[in-house]
Every structure is written in C-alpha cells, then in structure tokens.
Amino acid sequence: MKKIISLFIFALTLVSCVKDKPQDVVQPQLQLTGAKKVYIINEGVFNSGNASVSLYDTGNDAVVEDFYKTQNPSSPNVGDVAQHLAKINGKFYLVVNNSGKIIVLDDQFKKINQVSNLSSPRYILPVTNQKAYVSDYNGNAISIIDLNTNTKTSSIACGGFTEEMVLIYNKAFVTNVKRNYVYTINTINDIKTDSINVGPNAGSIVIDKNDKIWVLGSGNSQNNIPGKLSRIDPVNNQVEISYTFAAGESPFRLCLNKTKDTLYFIKGGIYRMAINDVSLPVTALIANGTKNFYGIGINPNNHTIYAADALDYISKSNIYIYNASGTEKTHFKAGLIANGFYFE
C-alpha cells in the first residue's frame, strides 16, 4: 500500500511501542505515520472466535494489537482462525478458516464485503484481476472466486488438504498437506493438469528470482518419513533437486528474502539457505531457545526478519524483528497465535 494512512486510534486501543521488552501500553491517542505498515495475522484460539489482525508502524514502532476492531467498531469480530491476508486490486482479503469466509476490506482496513459459502478456506491466490483461487482444509476442492462480485462461482476438484499456492506461466501450483503431490492447474480453463511428487505434508511454496519453484514439506513423523525441500522447474513440472532433512525434523513456513535468492524456514529455530547452496543448513541463523516460533516473514522493503513466537498458544504472541544477520532489533506484543505477516 503506497497511500499514506492518516487516522487516529482513540481510547481503549491497546498499543505497544517498545524496544526492550514486550508490554501493553494504553495510549489514549496515536497518529500513524506515512511509513510502511506491517499487518500481523493472529489466528486466535480454535473454536474461540478471537482471531485478530495487529498493525505495526515501521515509522514510529507503534503497535495496534487489534487493528481490525479499531477500524470496524460496528462489526469488531474477525471470526474463528484468521489464516491469510492478501491485497488484490487495492482491497484486502482476510481469509478466516474455521468461519468459512473471506472478509473484504478497503485500503483503510474497513469491511466492505464478504465471500461466504466456503468450507474451510486457507489461502487466496489472485489469478487475474477478475478471478482468484482459494485453497481449502477439507473441501476437497479449490474454490474459484469472482473478484468483481466477491462470490464463489465454481470449484476445481482437488482431494486432500490444499494449502499455499503460487502462479507462473498461466499455471497455479497448489500444495497439498495430505497428499504427496503439488498439483498444477491451467488457470485459463481451470483444469487440473498435473501432479508432482514432493513427499508428504508439503504446505509452503515460493518462486525464486530464477522463476524456480521451491516446496517445503514437513514429512510424516508417524511413519518416519523425513521432510523435503524440493526445487521444481515450472516449465516442465519436473523436480530438479530435492534435499531430505534428518529423521524427526519437521520444517515449515518457507519464505524468501527481498531479492528472492535466499530461503528461510522454521525448524525449531530460523534457518537460512541460499538458492544455490548444495546442502541444507546445519546451524540456525536464529536459535529458538525458549521461543516457540510459529510464523515468519521477510520484509520485502529491506532485509529484516519478522518472527512470531506463539508462546503457549493461549497468550498473546511476541513478535521479534531481526536484521539480516539475525540480531534482534526490537520486539512487541500482537494477538493470539500470530502465524504470518503482510508487508506493504
């Protein structure tokens, strides 16, 4: 979002503006700066309906712990399990998994519409300016959304638990947690065309600077199947290289840096790997210690690393910001079970 946000957050808004330790600060009035904002997606506790979205202002380190509620006082509840936030055609799309909906918001984060009649939506992928795909936990299909009317118009059969998706060469590559495959969909005719074996529990997918696709699977610990990191050529849908993790390791949350030449993922601590490395990293860039890292994001405006510590899953998450070398810059509180970030 390049438009400067100018608004006031009034009394009863919980704000954290800290450099040394997480704490809640009640600030009666706060004016956000014109600097880039970071939105933090907070799942909330399953079946509790306490999902939220927090806002971090990089210009003054101000934090609004429940920014959605602040901007939508007449309809303050996000719902049950906020999963993903994307911006499409100048609007925010907030996917709320267990509530079976996607909330549509304007650029001030005020609700303007809603996509309903979804099973268990996970991630939304814009395919054109008029169409988007939505993955699903138990719908056994990819939903097709009309972005003009914000309605579900059709679906593409895809058995299993579909998760993250990417788009390249008029093909959508869809991860599937309960299958061993990444599926390809022809986005022109919405037909599933291929499947690529990447091993079990693959849910993270990114495209690097060379237009190669990387898929991270956590493996299957019950059957002693280790996780895998695979690189796919999207032209011929072939796995070019695959790295296997040690037994018992369950990596997740794959993401890329600003220049799309370095991979990051969580495996207890936070690990970093260049796309031209010939082996998996052995030592964590950021050790977890007592932290329960659950979400990660790399700010595309610089090289800062954002990591969410979900703590005990019933307390407000801690958000840590590190520089590219892994040194902590600051940290603050967000909502319950923060799982990811949207960067302006």
Residue by residue, DSSP assigns 24-58 as -EE-S-EE--SS-EEEEEE--STTS---EEEEEET
d(CA 181, CA 194): 9
Per-residue pLDDT for the chain (344 aa), expressed as one digit of tens each? 333 333 333 333 333 333 444 444 334 356 899 999 999 999 999 999 999 999 999 999 999 999 999 999 999 999 999 999 999 999 999 999 999 999 999 999 999 999 999 999 999 999 999 999 999 999 999 999 999 999 999 999 999 999 999 999 999 999 999 999 999 999 999 999 999 999 999 999 999 999 999 999 999 988 889 999 999 999 999 999 999 999 889 999 999 999 999 999 999 999 999 999 999 999 999 999 999 999 999 999 999 999 999 999 999 999 999 999 999 999 999 999 999 999 99
Vertex 115, ends 168 and 314: CA angle to 5°? 90
Residues contacting 215, CB < 8 A, separation 6+: 173, 175, 182, 198, 202, 204, 205, 228, 229, 230, 232, 254
DSSP code of 63? E
Rounded to two decimals, what is the model's pTM?
Answer: 0.90
Instruction: Copy the structure tokens of residue 24.
Output: 């809640």
